[in-house]
Amino acid sequence: MPSTSPNAFNARLSALVREIYPDLDTSILTSMIVDAFWPEGTKPRKRGRQPSNNLWTEQDALLITYGNSIIDGAHKPLDLLNDFLLRRMKGVVNGVHILPFFPFTSDDGFAVSDFRSVNPQLGDWADINRIGDAFHLMSDLVLNHVSSQGTWFNAYRQGQAPYDKFFFEASPDDDLSMVVRPRTTPLLQEIETTNGPRHVWCTFSHDQIDLDFRNPEVLCEFLRIIRLHVDNGVQIIRLDAVAFLWKEVGSPSVHLPQTHAIVQLMRMLCDYAPETIILLTETNVPKAENLSYFGNRDEAHAIYNFPLPPLILHAMMSGSANYLRQWQSGMPPAQLGCAYLNFTASHDGIGMRPVEGILPHSEQDKMIETVKDVGGLVSMRALPDGGEAPYEINTTFFEATKNTFNGADDYHFERFICSQTIVMSLEGIPAFYIHAMLATPNDLDQVERRGMNRGINRHNWDYPTLNALLDDPETIHARVLGRLTEYLKIRAKQPAFHPNATQFTMALSDEVFGIWRQSLDRHQSIFALHNVSAKDMQVALTQMNLIDDEDWVDLLTGETIDLSATHVSLAPYQCRWITNRH
């Protein structure tokens, strides 16, 4: 929790430094850290921000996009993105996550070769600043690894200080059997250096070399990078793959105590920054491990709600919200000063690890087969026993909702809109991948051309083509964007959809996923009902607390609810937001 005096700040920072680096000089390291985050001419606040619900409102919603998701072959992609945002997204979302916009060598930006520059193929810092002037801006801190062809690693291979101690080395003779991996490639890579052959740790790929945070210089360098981003208008820092940050031979090397302490240290610095900085952790892991990054209100301000994509997709495919409801009923409300980031689609696949212990393997298998039927793919991960397990389903979310377990039907549009409306209804901040907003089909050509499953969900739209499609109200792209735009504009006006507003999961039939939201001041209630089936459904009014003597209206249809009736009806995949304040 943020401290309330300079002495407390120093004491807390020193305690964290001792926890992370017990064998090094605490006083020297604390000074290095403060100087890295607050360079000459800047200084921290006198008091840290206390945890509160004031960092976000019901008006907050994010668009997730690559810097080159929209291209035309003539203009800078970031210029085109800015035009798209101002033309199509103003008043719809107020934040944008531009996926890694730095020079890189692979993994679509996540093998960064220069953390301090904007990829010239996208634009420059002025273009980033321009977007940040109109929208809350999120950037990626890819802090687990760097490109094998970048400046840092080249200097390491040449034995140049300080980079000669920047990377994690191990031996093939070490016991690495417990290491948790999201990939099937070999963990260690032998490379030549001026000091002879070395084996470096590669959690993700051999072009992504893991850094060694046992060296405090690495931590300080990333604090300087955060400062650079903040100075360029970034408000949300996404800690990419943070769970793998600290390694120890003979351990799983995931979620280690030092990792959590480093997140706590970053949170503390952000809470003392004059600028508003929100830390978001990206940990695509099972529920309890993911929730641990809230800490005791002293780690991430926000965490990705990773079980949502596979659970919502399963509900849409199966026509039953049973597993989604059971999971949601057991989810704790975010602590004061914390929030969930809710989503279905992202630049990666639909992760299956987060539903371990939630969705039976038989149900997961049916999901995978249903996605394969519409051209989707599946990526595997290595298990400690040498086997493999599904890591993620690769598809656009729009295409994933095309079929149910019973095959194709005429409800694809309604089913997809239902899936996105659930995201808007839940406690937390909603985020939408650009290819979900645009109903982008699977890009199998890119998979074949690039030899990468994730290419299926990373289409590059030709901007003139896209605008023509969106300007034609009959296209699926215009229909989807139009409906989501309508709902998001309605949502932004409802205090009961504040990210921390009260939430209660309703006990309804398996076909209807229902939640009750109540505003922080308790003036507004919304009963959000989502029919996840192709059946006509009814919800008894006795299952909702519709207060007498108040007018209740469905925000999505404008229909007044007749309190003398016995029930409300839902058509296949229909959603209702029934409220007493409108």
Nearest C-alpha neighbor of 210 from the set 245, 176, 182: 245
Question: What span, in angstroms and rounded, lies between the C-alpha atoms of 564 and 545?
Answer: 14
Nearest C-alpha neighbor of 269 from the set 49, 481, 523, 121: 49
User: Angle CA(252)–CA(257)–CA(259) in degrees, nearest 5?
Assistant: 85
For residues 424 and 430, the answer to whether their CB atoms sit within 8 Å is yes
Beta strands 429-433 and 234-240 are: unpaired
Amino acid identity, position 204: F
Cβ atoms < 10 Å from Cβ of 452:
16
130 is annotated as contributing to ligand binding = no
Provide the token pair at 26: 């605490």
549 is annotated as contributing to ligand binding = no
145 is annotated as contributing to ligand binding = yes
Question: What span, in angstroms and rounded, lies between the C-alpha atoms of 308 and 525?
Answer: 23
Annotated catalytic residue 127: no
How does DSSP classify residue 45? -
In the set 127, 240, 298, 554, the catalytic residue is 240
477 is annotated as contributing to ligand binding = no
Structural element, H or E, at residue 30: helix 26-37
CA 49 from centre of chain: 24
240 is annotated as contributing to ligand binding = yes
Strand, coil or helix: 161: coil
Provide the token pair at 335: 């602590």
Question: What span, in angstroms and rounded, lies between the C-alpha atoms of 384 and 372?
Answer: 27
348 is annotated as contributing to ligand binding = yes
Question: What span, in angstroms and rounded, lies between the C-alpha atoms of 292 and 313?
Answer: 25
Cβ atoms < 10 Å from Cβ of 507:
9
365 is annotated as contributing to ligand binding = no
Residues 6+ apart with CB under 8 A from 18: 26
239 is annotated as contributing to ligand binding = yes
What is the full DSSP assignment across 461-518? EEHHHHHHHHHSTTSHHHHHHHHHHHHHHHHTT-GGGSTTSEEEE----TTEEEEEEE
Compute CA distances 311 → 203, 275, 314, 343, 488, whole Å: 27, 36, 5, 11, 22
Residue stretches of the annotated binding site for substrate: 107, 145, 238-240, 347-348, 454
Which are the catalytic amino acids? 240
Residue stretches of the annotated binding site: 107, 145, 238-240, 347-348, 454
